[in-house]
Structure 1
Amino acid sequence: MTPRLRTIGQAAIPVSRLSFGAAGIGNLFTPVTDTQAEEAITTALAHGYRYFDTAPHYGLGLSERRLGSVLRRQPRDQFTISTKVGRLLIPQESHSDDLADGFAVPATHRRVWDFSAQGVRRSLLSSLERLGLDRVDIVYLHDPDAHEQQALDEAYPELERLRSEGIIKAIGIGMNQAELPTRFIRNTDIDAVLLAGRYTLLDQRGLHQLLPLAHERGVAVILGGIFNSGLLADPKPGAPFDYSAAPEQTLARAVALKAVCERHHVPLRAAALQFPLSHPAVVSVLVGTRSASQTTDATQMTNLSIPTDLWAEMKALGLLPDSAPTPEETG
């Protein structure tokens, strides 16, 4: 697949429209072997993925180590990589696992929230060591929900200093809410927002303020969680929505979306992947994959032709707002 590239920030950092979210290879919920992780990454590269996102939080550094072990063997100008700050990993003696935080790894470290300037720099230097790289392209403030003021007053200015030093090229904020990233767009010079789960077939909260403002200000939006934790991949009773059991009304909407797709002979996964890419503020969709087969499936679903009538029917049934751009409107 020839990569379709867009860019982020004044540094014009290239990103592929379909990108690799590396939480899965950090053993999110269930274990992944080193071989499976490497195959997922190399398959992504073969399919034209050029943007890879990770974080210390993902598997207590396992995701960063696995991603770096593959990417540092590639020419540095052939990939874009991002990581996150806000959680320091502190070594600890423990015989338990990390499943309480969602990762099937030994609890060798504990996470400590830290959006201080010193904490930001310390976190990034530790990430670079795990990745085996001398720089990353984008750094996101990771989930500063309860640390809003410190993120604005201390963490963000430190990222500006790191950007001016050339250690990073772009600054972003990554959250599963739309309100605080909107404030950052208004009040800072950030380059990107990683918005998880808030602009999908099921949840368009990002459409009201964040996406129009980002487009107006030239802030790139990268979308994660486009399957809303799995409900849009396979809507059925008991399926998760935003990491907990889907409410009955939400499940019913997902089932109705699937029914429209089936009438047009289109997998729901394809519609879920292609819909959010239609907004002009969106430069990339991150897909969390943990295997070569999942990486290949995401590529195939993104490239699948979808009839215009499918989007029209979703809007006619009230399953999508009329104001939401759809692929036939944006080409």
Structure 2
Amino acid sequence: MLKGPMQEAEAAVARVLGEYETALGGLRAAVPALAPALSRARALILAMKGRLVVAGMGKSGHVGRKLAATFASTGTPAIFVHPAEASHGDLGMVAADDVLLMLSWSGETRELSDLIGHAKRYRIPIVSLTGAKGATLARRSDVALVLPMEREACPMELAPTTSTLLQLAMGDALAIAVLEARGFGPEDFRGFHPGGKLGAALLPVSEVMHAGDRLPLVDARTSVLETVAEVGRKGFGIVGVTEGGRLAGVVTDGDLRRYLEANVGGTMAEVMQGRTAGEIMTPGGITIEPDRLAMTALATLRERRIGAAFVTEGGRPVGLVTLLQLLGVGVA
């Protein structure tokens, strides 16, 4: 029975992904043998006073550009230098304090020769990502990360596919190994990613919370009637109840509804005037510190299945963060 176009596409994609899975498994199995070289490569990058200069031609060059961006965004100054441009003046971008990360699957990319010569002239360390142990690049490198020679996913075994996947995977893994050694954390990451959803997720709660006059607060001695009024004025469906300036608990729309249902027999005046916020509040409540990341605050709200939480400092309420607000600024 002949396959239709959809079945053919599905079969091709499944085959390629299967080969990728096999290749990554081979790379994972090679890690123990690569461990000494990985350790030296990481040490060179950590110790450098300049930048990580990444270079590669063709598809390896495209992978190299991505790796330079990954290193740069995770705390390691990095740039990409095109080998052909390097031979026409851009060698001046590679200085003695730098480390070169060079990519070539065959290890014989002739356009890399001037960069290699420049590195040797100025004693610039070379780390290479290649698939050929005995090739020129590996032999001229200070540290050669020789990856397993898995077959390309291209049916003709010509288009760089599996090879670029392995270079990308190992390069990213090396970047993360350097990140971990630096102790690079979320606050550092935020400094390099101020834009978009990622930037919003990495903002501290103090920069997105409602504060000042927008903060819904009542004293514990406030009547239920005034508490209802504060809920209506601020519009968050919640008020914080304070005692001596510290957050003692919260009153939510749900608390008010349950209180009214429990006192359905009395007149409205009797129900609303006779009790205080402190008597009907939910003691304690979920609170968040102002220096917590917005993405962490969002996770807390979702995990506890609540729509809002007070931000406290030393037990005193300084802000309010809501689920809708966090989603509105792009924390998702």
TM-score (norm 1): 0.29
Which is strand-richer, 1 or 2?
Answer: 1
Higher Cα radius of gyration: 2
TM-score (norm 2): 0.29
